[in-house]
Each structure stands twice: as structure tokens, then as C-alpha cells.
Structure 1
Amino acid sequence: MKHYTLISTYPENRASANVGDLLIRESEKALIERERGGVAFTTYFREDSLDDYLDEINRTDGILMTFPIRDTPMYPGTFRLVNNLADIRVPIIPMPANWNVYPGDAMSREHVSYSSATREFLHAIASNVSVLPCREYHTMRVLARHGIHNTVMTGDPSWYDPAYFGKPMHRPGKIERLVFSPPLSPFYVTQAKSVMAMLAELYPQAERVCSMHLADSRINLFANKRPSNDASMTEAVAEKNTRIRRYASEYGFEVREVAGDVRKIEFYKACDLHVGYECHAHVSFLRWRRPSVLIAEDARGVGFNYTFGVGGFDGFRRCQNDSPIRSLEGGTSGYCVTVDEYSIAPCDHSVVMQMRQYLAEEASSRFRRYQGVAEFIDETYEQAMAPFLRSLP
């Protein structure tokens, strides 16, 4: 039986309980099992020190790392790993990489420049694999800017549910069950309120659900780590989910807490439409062949929207052209961007009207623009993700 060490972005038994990170982890395991068969996993969180587990790790067939690229630096920072990388004697293989900065638009991609420590780590990882998988196209471009070209766009593991391979997109003639997912950043709360109001007006008879992908303790955890001179940001983060729940109630949305358990989002399979900010609410709908509209908060959403080519809107509007990109590393996660930095690209309130028009257009055609999404997902799996998984040691 093959045995892999899996480095996950999901912090087991910790504060965040981000169901999106958990979906990635569980999807990775299921797909590897599907392509390789008879697989065992030992899982660690990316911030855990692995020094005490080196002997066990070196007896596995390799280390598979869910691979967010963050210049904190990457090592030791985003990944704790071990004090001396040379002590790891098995292959280190990135699972699909993603990058994130704020706002994550074309200017971000043109100007982002990682530190020498992060560049060194990225090149060390890339030089030891035949291909470095990326979950969307923009990540490939960012890596190419840093001299890494052996990349392939495999998509994110969460795109894929083999039970849905070969099935067409659900194209509803009427929206009877609707899901809204809130933003991660408090900067988008007012915009999110307008989105909920618009959805309630467009679909007054629909069952409406506000799906909370993260536990509140995550917000409080990072709010407590904010610098004392950024009190306004700390307060905004702490109040964000409370305000979202209140607005959701005002507009007739049932609030569902889905953090920490992928089974809690399986009700998406029976819904007609998602509109919101959570990348993994968006891809959950698409993987289960349901239409979705994603409002991009930062590079993560921008990359998914470009790659799928349908249902995507930027939630921000770039205002300044001389942004200090390095200082915005990490995105609008509520603890990575200050209020002053946010002025580079404040939220775009006109996007609500744009989405309303888009949804009206899609209603008139039964979501015609989505009909190729299922084929895109299936083909990407067969031509990119599956070959990559079959190449694992």
C-alpha cells in the first residue's frame, strides 16, 4: 500500500474550521485514491513543525503539499516543515499551487515580486518535480515571472467529484433554492448587503440561504493579532460576521453554519444558484453542475473567474497604479490588508447592478453560458489532473 504524508491548509481542531480548506484536503485524498488505489495518508497542518516526525515521514512515499504561495516567506513561514530541509529524504511534491495578493488584478500580476527566500524555496520545489500543478492560469503566469516554467493547469482538487463526471450542467428555468456566501474581508460588508438585497428582490419566492464557511473564532483569533495602531480594521473584522447574519435575516436568508464539515455543504447539490464571495462555495456548485456567480475579493477569486470564464465579477475597482504589492501579500483576509492599503482598490458598488443584469440575461436563456463548464471540468481532469496524480511516486 502506498503511504503519503499530506501537508494541508486545513487546521484540524483549530480555530478556523474553513470548510473550503477541508474540501480541498478531502478531495485530494479521494482523487489520489481513485487514481492510485490502496493509499494511506498521514496528515499535518502546514504550520506544524515536522521535526519530531521525520523518521515516520521518511518512510512514506512522498510529501504532498497543498501549495498556497505566500511571501511570508514560504519557508519557514507559510510552511513550517523542518529545521533542515536536507533531512527530508522523500520527494516533496506540490499539490495544485495558488497565489494570493490584493487586489490580484492584472497590475498585481505584472508587479508582484517575491523575496529571495521565497524564490529560492519555489525553485527548489520546482526543480525536483517534472511538472508543478497550478489550480488556475494566473498562478502559472506569476510563477513564470519568477523563472518557473514547468507548470500545468490542473485545476483545484475541489473542482472534481467523480460521481458527477459526464453529467451536464443543471440549467434551472426557475430559481427555487438560492445560496449566498459572504465575503471574508470586512471591507465588502456594505457591498454584500446590497447583493443580498438584490437577490431578495430578484427571487422573492426562492428559499434563500446564507452559508457561513468559516467559524467566528477564526475572525476573533486573527483580529486579536492585529497591530494596536490598526484599531479600525480590528473592529471591522470582529463585527463582520455579526453584521452579515443581521443583514441576512433582514432579507429573508436562513443562516447556515457549515464550517468544519464538508457534509454540511452537500445541500448545494439540490440548489439552483450560488451568488457570493466564497471561492469554494463557487467551485462546489460548479463541481456539482450548478450555476454560480463569484465576486472576487482578491487574486484567488480573480484567478478562478478567469479560468472558468463564466459567472465572475471583480468586487473591487483599482484606483491607484503605484501600489506596494509586497505589502498586500495574502489578500483581503481580514488580517492582511490595512484600511489605508485598501484604498488602492476599494469595493465597487456598481458590481451589484452588473450582476443583476447578468442574472436577468441568464434567466432568459436558462443559464446558457454555463453549458460548457461541465465539459471544461471533465476535460481538465482527464488531460491534466489525472495524469499528474498517476505520476505520483
Structure 2
Amino acid sequence: MKPYYILLHRALVNVGDFLIGARTKELLEAVRPDRTIIVGEAWRPLDLQFDLDVINNAKAIIIAGGPGYVNHMYPDIYPLMSNLEKLEAPLTYLAGGFNSVPAPIEIIYKFRFSDGSRQLLDKMTDQGRKIGTRGFMTKQVLDYNGYPQAVMVGDPAWYHLPSLGQEFVPPKHLRTIVFTPPANKPYFDQAKQILAYIVKEFSNCSSSSEVIVSFHRGIDADFARFAESQNCKVVDVSGNISHLQFYDSCDLHVGYRLHAHLYFLSLRKPSYVIAEDFRALESLNTLASFGFSGWYVDRIHSESGTQQWNAYLAPSLPKILVEQIVNDRRTRFSRFAGLGTTIDSFYHSSMKPFLEQLP
């Protein structure tokens, strides 16, 4: 049998996780044709999926991306094996991300991993082996926790292989607009305002424009009713990567789902993301992509002298966001020029070398 990797994913419902898994497999097959890819499930223990000799004879065990660099990543998020000492194959994380509830940016310097998670990270970085992050904030988190082996490689969803080498071409028309609602209900009122602004703006511009509200984790009945009241089509794309294919024929994405945003950008299409948490904020920071934070932080100094904060929804965001889209449309989305070059550069300087150095 040809040497093989075991690729672990967490694709259950959220179509973004299916996208990460699919793009990771495509990248490995393109860059490492010398390896067969065996796919497993990251949320289940390895020894419940494979014989121990299959596990330990793998050239590497690779965990696909996702916001997995969290305090309790092992054993809660990635159970792997109850005794990591029995795991002999090299283990790495490709393009993992850090996540946090809305907080000041300094949280990346204060975050600490649990003892169990440090045990896993120590295993991954044994003998100087590298681990991948999908953004620079996550790399900083790992650096400050004593893991300088972390390398920023980007999110696998950035890299649509057929689009590498192509530059952004502004759409001639904005006939089909995709809007993705937030995952977190506290953002629903803000999202409804944005959707209403978008429907009004594009219905004024063209009677043929259609706004499609796309749910990545299953339909929320309340938000779907509101979308239908705005004459929007409602679709559920959860559960299968093939459900995203209709995005290929759409012209613009606006919304809260990070991997809808990255899917559009990877195809060199315009997209604007509203960050609900650090996952999308990191993408905005790393890729210099287009969108806004959905919250702002009000700092408070307590009587004890420690700094605390409260997070609030950004009240002016709906109007500001739609005005930005209108202005970009008038300039034929000139701010997106160079998008393809940026993604290509990260691929050739970061992702491809990381995959090439794997065992």
C-alpha cells in the first residue's frame, strides 16, 4: 500500500466544516501525490475508527482546520486516544484557529491552554515539528503559550486550486446576492437591519436582483420568516459540500458566515463579512479582506484597578456596511484588486511549503 496520511475533520452540520475538510483533502492530493489520504472523524477517538497498526503506520495524522486552538482542545474537542503515548505517528494541525467571545484584542496575550491541551500541543511539536494556523492572531496565541513552531498557512478555504493564478474580475451585474445570517441570536436584530437595507438598495437598482438567505447550520425559523417577509429566497446549505455549488453562479456575498465569505473570495468574487467573534476578525486581520466587526468593546476600570470590558453590538454598522457596498459598486469594486495575488502569495509562501515538509 502506498504511504498514507490520516486526515481528521469535524464536518457534522456546519457546511463550513465540510468546506474545510474538502479543500484540505484537495490540497493534500495536489501537493502530496505520493501519499494516499484516509479520512477519519476528529470528534471520535482514533482507536474506535482504525486498528492501532493503521494509526501508527500513518506517515502523519493531520487535523483539518477549524477553531480548535481552544483551552479544552484535548480531550474535549479532539479525543484522539486516551493515552497519547500510544500514538506513534507524527501528529499535526493544519490551519487551526483561535476563537473567543467578543473581547479586546489583548485577549490573545492572556489566553492559556489547559494541561490536557498542552499535552497534545507538546505531542504535535515534538522534535521541532511544525503546526499550522489559519491566521496571525492564532500564531500569536501559540507563540505566547510557548509554541514558536506555529506557522501561519491560512485557511484551506482560501485556496480554490483552479482559481490560483487568476485575479479578481468585478462582476458586470449584481443579480444574485447571498446573505448569510449569524450563528448567534444576539446578532439577529443587527442582521435583520442589514438584510432590509440590502433588499431595499438592490431592489431600487434593479427589479431583476434576487437576495438569497443561506443558512450554514440549518434554518432558523424566526430569521427565515423575516427573510421571507423581505421577499428573499431561503435555502439550507448545511450538511454537504455540494450544497454550496450554487454560490458559483452568484455575484456577491454579504453576511456573518466566515466560510461563505472565504468561498466567494477564493473564487475571486466580492464578499463582505460581519465578524461575530475572533474567527472572522482574524480573517479580516490576516487576509486584509472586506467587512466589519459586528461588535465594539467598552473598557471599564474596576475599583481594584483591573481592566474589564463589556461588548456591545455596533449600532451604526448596518448603514455603514451598505454604504460601503454602494461605494464599492460605483468604483467597480476596485478595493478588491489584488485579491488573487494576495491569496496566491500565501499559497506559495506558506501553505504549499507546509504541506511539502510533512513526513
Give TM-score scaled by structure 1 length. 0.83
1:71-111 CA distance string (max 9 Å, x none) = 45221111101111111111001111211011154132233
Tell me which amino acid in the other structure corresponds to 2:248. K
Residue range with higher mean Cα deviation, 283-292 or 148-157: 148-157
Q: CA contact under 8 A between 2:92 and 2:130: conserved in structure 1?
A: no
In 2, the alpha carbon distance for the partners of 1:116 and 1:80 equals 14
1:316-367 CA distance string (max 9 Å, x none) = 12124579xxxxxxxxxxxxxxxxx9x9312222111110221122012111
Q: How does 1:1-393 map to 2 (within 5 A)?
A: 1-11=2-12, 17-37=13-33, 39-52=35-48, 53=50, 54-67=52-65, 68-103=67-102, 105-204=104-203, 205=206, 206-215=209-218, 241-321=220-300, 344-393=310-359
1:174-218 CA distance string (max 9 Å, x none) = 3211000110111111111001001001111311111111135xx
Residue range with higher mean Cα deviation, 182-191 or 71-80: 71-80
CA shift in 2, pair 1:104/1:201, >3 Å? same
Matched residue pairs, number? 346
Q: CA contact under 8 A between 2:283 and 2:289: conserved in structure 1?
A: no
In 2, the alpha carbon distance for the partners of 1:267 and 1:164 equals 17
In 1, the alpha carbon distance for the partners of 2:103 and 2:281 equals 7
Gaps of 5+ in 2: 303-307
Find the residue that maps to 2:4 and give its secondary structure.
strand
Q: CA RMSD in A?
A: 2.0
In 1, the alpha carbon distance for the partners of 2:103 and 2:20 equals 21
Q: CA contact under 8 A between 1:72 and 1:78: conserved in structure 2?
A: no
In 1, the alpha carbon distance for the partners of 2:217 and 2:280 equals 17
Find the residue that maps to 2:95 and give its secondary structure.
strand
Give TM-score scaled by structure 2 length. 0.91
Q: CA contact under 8 A between 2:254 and 2:271: conserved in structure 1?
A: yes
CA shift in 2, pair 1:129/1:24, >3 Å? farther
In 2, the alpha carbon distance for the partners of 1:112 and 1:259 equals 31
Find the residue that maps to 2:340 and give its secondary structure.
helix
CA shift in 2, pair 1:181/1:129, >3 Å? farther
Q: CA contact under 8 A between 2:103 and 2:297: conserved in structure 1?
A: no
Question: After the TM superposition, which segments of 4 or more aligned residues of structure 1 sit over 4 Å from their partners?
Answer: 320-323
Higher relative contact order (CA 8 A, sep 6+): 1
CA shift in 2, pair 1:385/1:247, >3 Å? same
Tell me which amino acid in the other structure corresponds to 1:208. V
In 2, the alpha carbon distance for the partners of 1:284 and 1:242 equals 25
Gaps of 5+ in 1: 12-16, 217-240, 324-340
